[in-house]
Amino acid sequence: MTARGEAGAGFGPAGNPVRAGMRHPTSDPRAAAALDADRLARVALTWIAEPGNRSVFRLVQQHGAAGTLTLLREGGAPEEALRQTVAARLSAGDPLAVATEAMERADRLGARLVTPVDAEWPLPVDDLHRLVLAGSTRRVDRETAPPLCFWVRGGHSLAETLDRSVALVGARAATGYGIHVGTELAYGLAERGWTVVSGGAFGIDAAAHRGALTAGGLTVSVLACGLDRPYPVGNAALFERIADTGLLVSEWIPGADPLRPRFLIRNRVIAAATRGSVLVEAAARSGATQTMHRALAIARPAMVVPGPVTSTMSVGAHELLRQYPEARLVVSPAQVLEEVGRIGGDLAPQVRGPVRVQDQLDDESAMVLEALPRRGVRGVDDIAGRSGVGARTALRKLALLEELGLVSRRGDGYALSPPLTPPEPSGP
């Protein structure tokens, strides 16, 4: 592969990896034919059974993808539920014909298929073989096996893009506070060279993607449907921006519908493919908390941004902190990177003594805070000039500082909130 973020070498004109793009390139025609058969079979298997099916994954480990496809078509599924699923699919069409059509549709879309033999396969997702959600009886919580393949749209290497990545997830019906914090976190992470991964939904997901894009960084949207019909349609323009500068990723063939169970199946990939997951806002029983449960189950760092105790959008996030001692509270990009960064880099400075909110601010927010007068009110333009940031940046930072209770709006300007206002000198 070429340098990080480029997928030039190893890719054919239609975007599909050529032999040089594989981990172990081959010039043997028979071996090449076997690899092609394996790729087609993997696509067919994700159509016959939902991605993450543990029985199918075990069969692929034992018999290979092509052998498993033959076994299932001949009625050899080891479980009755899987036999019924396969029978229903076979009555709807020929798996190899469906797979061939999917490959053609992907080519027209400018997407490519990535399998475990390809150099850009993200190895961390293979950790899903040990994901067990104890105590759950839901079928969707048993669909936790590693992926068989990915469909990818975008010009970057999937493995290299995910090598330094953090997932930001949260509520669809996010509050203004959540949107702001999610955007700021994503911006700060992307600004530091980290990829921001999310699911493309309204609310926190979209805020995370937009924050990374605004910073000029990389962002990846992992979809629960076909790449040709990303959901929700209201984020269509956002998905195009992501495809142009980052990556769209899915386990489902082009044309696949965004069915509700697929979102939870998808969430295991978000949890496993990244170095850690951050929950910004979540109501009780939120799908975003399910991503965090999956991250915790495979020993990935799980982080939570606290919210107002009066907000229903904080209930799920706060409960996660109560339920899991290993979940960490974070309030800044630096603290996120302290949890996921490699030893020797990306670490936040150790905090000594009492922790104050203002001590955890990013540099620009701190400069804006320092630009406010000790007493009285100062206008936005004056604050921007004194802090050395643009007016739009000053407004964003002031909104964050107001949410944190550090400043308050006064007419056309801002002032320090009472706790930060120095006391009046006492009389003689």
Which residues fall within 8 angstroms of residue 75, CB to CB, at 6 or more apart? Answer: 83, 86, 87
Q: What is the pLDDT of residue 399?
A: 84
23 Cβ neighbours under 8 A, 6+ residues apart = 117, 118, 119, 121
CA geometry: angle at 41 spanning 1 and 36, to 5°? 45
Query: Cis link prior to 232 (omega < 30° from 0)?
Result: yes
pTM score above 0.85: no
What is the reported pLDDT for 360?
66
Which residues pair with residue 112 across a beta bridge?
Answer: 152
**What is the pLDDT at residue 419?**
56
Query: Phi/psi zone of residue 210: left (φ > 0), alpha (ψ -120 to 50 degrees), beta?
Result: alpha
Task: Supply the pLDDT for residue 248.
Answer: 99
Give me the pLDDT at residue 21, please. 64
Q: In the chain, which stretches have pLDDT less than 70?
A: 1-27, 134-137, 139-140, 342-360, 419-428
End-to-end Cα, the chain, rounded Å: 75
Residue 393 pLDDT = 85
The two structure tokens encoding residue 38: 């394996």
* DSSP collapsed to 3 states, the chain: CCCCCCCCCCECCCCCECHHHECCCCCCHHHHHHHHHHHHHHHHHHHHCCCCCHHHHHHHHHHHHHHHHHHHHCCCCCCHHHHHHHHHHHHHCCHHHHHHHHHHHHHHHCEEEECCCECCCCHHHHHHHHCCCCCCCCHHHHCCCCCCCEEEECCCCHHHHHHCEEEEECCCCCCHHHHHHHHHHHHHHHHCCCEEEECCCCCHHHHHHHHHHHCCCCEEEEECCCCCCCCCHHHHHHHHHHHHHCEEEECCCCCCCCCHHHHHHHHHHHHHHCCCEEECCCCCCCHHHHHHHHHHHCCCCEEECCCCCCCHHHHHHHHHHHHCCCCEECCCHHHHHHHHCCCCCCCCCCCCCCCCHHHHCCHHHHHHHHCCCCCCCEEHHHHHHHHCCCHHHHHHHHHHHHHCCCEEEECCEEEECHHHCCCCCCCC
Measured CA to CA, the distance from residue 412 to residue 396 in angstroms comes to 15
What domains can you pick out in the chain, each with its CATH number?
99-339 (3.40.50.450), 357-420 (1.10.10.10)
pLDDT score for 328: 97
